[in-house]
């Protein structure tokens, strides 16, 4: 990892030999998380939020390869970072292998108002998601370590059921690195049943 100083509104997370993540404190409640993944093809940025010193941390991993925006409205700083680094950007790319990368793109929701995919990295058993599941309090009912997005609990992401990841990287909140398969399958299987248990946390969140 680079020795660059991390700004106070950024918290590093999900630090592994193959990459790292960071959570932005603006706005704090959203816990917007981004990731840099180091592969043989270069460093890929997932739904990135920019910060001073990011380029130095990327350079410490390797040569930038591309920016992947997993959710159509997760604009964040994806386009600006792509332009600055001179690398291509993919916005909610179609299902299948992502050209020039070791990743598989998986459709999780395709509708008029919600275009979202997930990223599967077989070599490292990494599943990266944007919004479909997450770890902030407003995602998780009591007893959950990972929760389905509150608006999607009636139609949980069954497309992810086939994966048993070692690591789950979230677009909101720090990732899951212990018992990740159990956390993922429990989140999907109990999404509807736990709606009532999530309600108190959502009320607290909405009241600010």
For residue 164, the domain's CATH number is 3.60.15.10
The answer to whether position 58 is within a domain reads yes
| Residue 172 belongs to some domain of the structure | yes
The answer for residues whose C-beta is within 8 angstroms of residue 82's C-beta and 6 or more apart is 66, 67, 88, 89
pLDDT at 3: 45
Q: Give, as one character, the DSSP assignment of residue 181.
A: H
- Establish if 82 belongs to a structural domain: yes
Establish if 2 belongs to a structural domain: no
Helices 78-85 and 54-61: crossing angle, nearest 10°? 60
CA torsion sign for 83, 92, 180, 183 is positive
Q: Which residue has the higher pLDDT, 150 or 20?
A: 20
Domain annotation covers residue 155: yes
Of residues 143 and 27, more confidence is placed in 143
Report the predicted TM-score, pTM, of the whole model to 2 decimal places: 0.92
β-bridge mates for residue 191, sequence order: none
CA separation, residue 104 to residues 109, 125, 127 (Å): 16, 11, 10
Look at residue 1 in the predicted model and tell me its pLDDT: 45
3 within some domain:
no
Q: Give a yes or no: residue 29 inside a domain.
A: yes
For 108-132, how does the pLDDT look when each residue is reduced to its tens digit (9 = 90+)? 999 888 999 999 999 999 999 999 9
Residue 110 sits in which domain range? 10-206
Instruction: Quote the number of domains for the chain.
Output: 1
- Tens-digit pLDDT profile for residues 63-113: 999 999 999 998 999 999 999 999 999 999 999 999 999 999 999 999 888
In a domain, 54, yes or no: yes
85 sits in which H/E element: helix 78-85
């Amino acid at each position: 990892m680079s020795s660059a100083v991390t700004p106070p509104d950024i918290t590093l997370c999900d630090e592994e030999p193959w990459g790292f993540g960071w959570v932005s404190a603006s706005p704090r409640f959203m816990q917007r998380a981004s990731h840099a993944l180091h592969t043989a093809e270069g460093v890929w940025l997932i739904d990135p939020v920019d910060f001073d010193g990011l380029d130095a941390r990327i350079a410490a991993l390797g040569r930038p390869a591309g920016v992947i925006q997993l959710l159509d409205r997760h604009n964040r700083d994806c386009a600006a970072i792509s332009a600055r680094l001179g690398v291509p950007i993919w916005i909610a790319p179609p299902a299948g292998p992502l050209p020039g990368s070791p990743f598989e793109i998986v459709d999780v929701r395709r509708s008029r108002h919600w275009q979202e995919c997930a990223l599967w990295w077989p070599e490292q058993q990494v599943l990266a998601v944007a919004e479909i599941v997450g770890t902030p309090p407003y995602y998780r009912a009591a007893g959950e370590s990972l929760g389905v997005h509150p608006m999607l609990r009636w139609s949980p992401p069954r497309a992810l059921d086939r994966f048993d990841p070692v690591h789950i990287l979230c677009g909101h909140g720090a990732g899951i690195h212990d018992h990740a398969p159990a956390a993922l399958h429990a989140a999907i299987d109990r999404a509807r049943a736990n709606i009532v248990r999530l309600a108190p946390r959502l009320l607290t969140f909405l009241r600010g």
